Amino acid sequence: MPREYLKKATKSARTDAADVSQTVSAMLSDIEQGGEDAARRYATQLDGYDGPIVLSADAIAEACARVPQGLRDDITFARDNVRSFAEMQKQSVQDTHTEVVPGLIAGQKAIPCNAAGCYIPGGRYSHVASVIMTVTTAKVAGVRHITACSPPRPDVGLPPAIIFAAHLCGADSILAMGGVQGIAAMTFGLFGLPRADILAGPGNQYVAEAKRILYGRVGIDMVAGPTDSLILADATADPHIVATDLVSQAEHGYNSPVWLVTDNRALAQDVARRVPALIATLPALNRENAEAAWRDYAEIILCDDREDMAACSDAYAPEHLTVQAADLDWWLDRLTCYGSLFLGEETTVSYGDKATGTNHVLPTSGAAKYTGGLSVHKYMKVVTWQRATRAGSKSVAAATARISRVEGMEGHARSADVRLAKYFPDEHFDLAAQT
């Protein structure tokens, strides 16, 4: 039978996208032309902040001193886990080479970007974990200059925990500026910063759109939409934990989709009953976000069996994918499209969001069909090189000349011809197009 939607979303991630794009385009153009003055104007208007933009060493030290030791320990714990995982990732990209033909060596080399801009959300919540995920990973990659950028609180500035985390993780500059203006400042090299080679980090729809528009002029970790999460659950799942996990992700924002995919109607109905009550117990801001997300974007989908569940999940390609079902190894082998996978009741997306070591900057809006999340690899360029002896260039030059002439690219052919003529003056080569 076809999949049955016990709950269907009324809105999508692209709702209101056109209006956002127009606004962001105008802001970026204004800041590019107006420079720091324009960026400061937007900061005052949108952030309600007119204090120092780039934090001094003294300001950083003073803020760090205000962070309680217990919180320092938790941030350090999470940083250490993220750093350890990133170091493992880095080992998977090795400088290497091979002798393609005798005398011709081709290789690859991984080179870190020179400057990275790490955006740290700070509107509704203070995303300390995003500092850890973006800055630590850039540091392990070997980026020379890392800017941590986050929106300040009106008339207050950045939360001390954000500053401490940025400093601990290795940020070279800390920028008290949020939104589009913060993205623009890092991209255009305002306030004495180097122009960013790559921008990374989550943000609201305006930040995401700014990164999308600027992509090409600057690298980005990925084109992102609102965060999304999907849970695969069967009859063995605990409905209270499933419902709690759905609510935990819905609190991200009013447009954060959460999806439950199951082959058990009783479980689906039980979870649907539990979610509103769990949302009602949240603090006011969290409750408002979760209520809107559940009302407008959430879905509950009833499938025939686990194969149909897996196919449904792959079609959605969720940012976060949780499996609370029997035979976890089967799911690990079967599932193909997700940003990060959480297997079993004993783990949860919240763990990955904060402290397990895997990165929480992940592909959204179905992008997990073709890309993974933030890693050291995103901050590095894998480039190629080659070197040849004269003998090694012989066969390659002849093939290059003939292929080039088939293509009609005579200039390319002649760059091979001259080498054959110089290196092997006494030999004759058939360099005509082979048609």
Neighbouring C-beta atoms of residue 367, cutoff 10 Å: 19
C-beta of residue 68 within 8 angstroms of C-beta of residue 350: no
Which residues, in sequence order, are bridge partners of residue 146? Answer: 116
The span from the first CA to the last CA of the chain, in angstroms, equals: 56
Catalytic residue among 127, 319, 412, 427: 319
Q: What mean pLDDT do residues 115-128 have?
A: 90
Catalytic: 412?
Answer: no
pLDDT at 324: 98
pLDDT at 42 over 70: yes
Catalytic: 320?
Answer: yes
pLDDT at 434: 85
Give 46-101 pLDDT, tens digit per residue: 999 999 999 999 999 999 999 999 999 999 999 999 999 999 999 999 999 999 99
Which residues, in sequence order, are bridge partners of residue 117? Answer: 147, 199
Q: How far apart are CA 372 and CA 370, in angstroms?
A: 7
Range list of H helices, 281-409: 284-296, 306-316, 328-334, 349-354, 390-407
pLDDT band of residue 19 (cuts 50, 70, 90) is: confident
How far does Cα 94 stand from its chain's mean position? 22
Are domains 20-221+377-382 and 226-372 of this chain identical in fold?
yes
pLDDT at 17: 65
pLDDT at 16 over 70: no
pLDDT at 192: 97
Q: At what angle do helices 69-91 and 128-141 cross, to 10 degrees?
A: 40
pLDDT at 392: 96
What are the distances in angstroms from CA 120 to CA 155, 162, 177, 332, 425?
19, 9, 10, 31, 62
pLDDT at 1: 58
Q: How far apart are CA 259 and CA 7, in angstroms?
A: 9
Lowest average pLDDT, out of 27-36, 217-226, 335-344, goes to 217-226
pLDDT band of residue 15 (cuts 50, 70, 90) is: low
Catalytic residue among 167, 320, 360, 427: 320
Neighbouring C-beta atoms of residue 154, cutoff 10 Å: 11
Q: What mean pLDDT do residues 177-203 have?
A: 97
Q: What mean pLDDT do residues 340-366 have?
A: 96
Among 361, 365, 356, 364, residue whose Cα is nearest residue 377 = 361
* Arithmetic mean of pLDDT over the chain: 95
Tokens matching residue 169: 């993780």
Give 139-162 pLDDT, tens digit per residue: 999 999 999 999 999 988 999 999
- The structural domains of the chain, with segments of one domain joined by +, span 20-221+377-382, 226-372, 389-435
pLDDT band of residue 435 (cuts 50, 70, 90) is: confident
- Fold observed for domain 226-372: Rossmann fold (3.40.50)
CATH number of 20-221+377-382: 3.40.50.1980
Give 237-258 pLDDT, tens digit per residue: 999 999 999 999 999 999 999 9
pLDDT at 233 over 70: yes
